[in-house]
Amino acid sequence: MNLRHPEKINNPISPIKKKPIWIRTKITNTQNYFKTKEIIDKKKLHTVCQEASCPNISECWSKRHATFMIMGDICTRACSFCNVKTGKPTFLDPLEPSKIALATKELNLNHVVITSVDRDDLEDGGANHFSKVILETRKMNKKTTIEVLTPDFLRKGKSYKVVVDANPDVFNHNIETVPSLYRSVRPGSRYFASVSLLKSIKEINKTIFTKSGIMLGLGETRDEVLQVMDDLLSANVDFLTIGQYLQPSVKHYPLKRYIHPDEFQEFKELALSKGFLIVASSPLTRSSYHADEDFSEMKKLRDKQSQCHPLQ
């Protein structure tokens, strides 16, 4: 705890609630799992699968899917829910764009998700590095679609435009939770700054799919979740993910409750009825979980909409 989360050392101990039966994962292909691990380890890359203790790592790596985390494994923010290390980051690796591109090729990914730690220490928040990774990955993997999951670039001006100009197929930025919980859950972030970022992406390039996600189980109310949906729709977000918060340690933000799968299904139906193009909502849903399949579905739905409304 001293090394990974120094800012949480004095937090009160919050015992972790026993997981319900519906939150269970397993390795489906051991050979593929270890092949994925070998490729990542050999190139000394970081993945959010490992750093954020994703519950789906076994399933995804068994399918040779991984979400790359660029710009190191140390975050400058101290979100109370997150298991990524916090502290002073190291220098950027100038070879990382080519490493990500090669790993994407070796894993034979049809769709790659690239995320990062927050880099408030950099003048542009890491936007230029994101751009280099996107461009190099596309150069080496011409048929692979690219999804980025970015920080909010808070107080970095219009630096995010560099990422948009690199033309990723999907631009994702997670809202994470409801506004009333931001001070305790995401103290270094601002809710409406995140909403504004997502809206700006669409204003610059309408062809890029936008995406955002929220966790449940932190103490939010049903009405607050519905309001988040409305706020994201006002920013023209296409894709919403809703998942269960899982408390990483006894020093992290305390889990209030496990949400039953039926409730996730209800939120999915409500979100779709409100107007989202696609919604993934389940206890194990995460930003990049089944991202390749979801992208294909989004593209089909948009193409269908275009055929129905050719003048729009």
Q: Which residue has the higher pLDDT, 225 or 306?
A: 225
Q: Which residue has the higher pLDDT, 19 or 65?
A: 19
Over range 38-42, report the average pLDDT: 89
DSSP letter string, 36-75: HHHHHHHTT-EEHHHHTT-TTHHHHHHTT--EEEES-SEE
Q: What is the pLDDT of residues 262-276, one digit of tens each?
A: 999 999 999 999 999
Q: Which CATH superfamily is domain 26-305 in?
A: Aldolase class I (3.20.20.70)
Task: Give me 142's structure tokens.
Answer: 């011409």
Over range 205-227, report the average pLDDT: 97
Which residues touch 272 (CB under 8 Å, ≥6 apart)? 279
> Has residue 77 got a pLDDT over 50?
yes
Q: How confident is the model at residue 291 (pLDDT cuts 50, 70, 90)?
A: confident
Say how far apart CA 86 and CA 113 lie, in whole Å.
22
pLDDT given for residue 1 in this prediction: 47
Determine the 3-state secondary structure of 240 from DSSP.
Answer: strand
Task: Give me 304's structure tokens.
Answer: 């269908």
pLDDT given for residue 124 in this prediction: 98
Rounded to two decimals, the pTM is 0.92
The one-letter code for the residue type at 247 is: Q
> Has residue 312 got a pLDDT over 60?
no
Contact 256/217 with Cβ under 8 angstroms? Answer: yes
Q: What is the pLDDT of residues 87-126, one digit of tens each?
A: 999 899 999 999 999 999 999 989 999 999 999 999 999 9
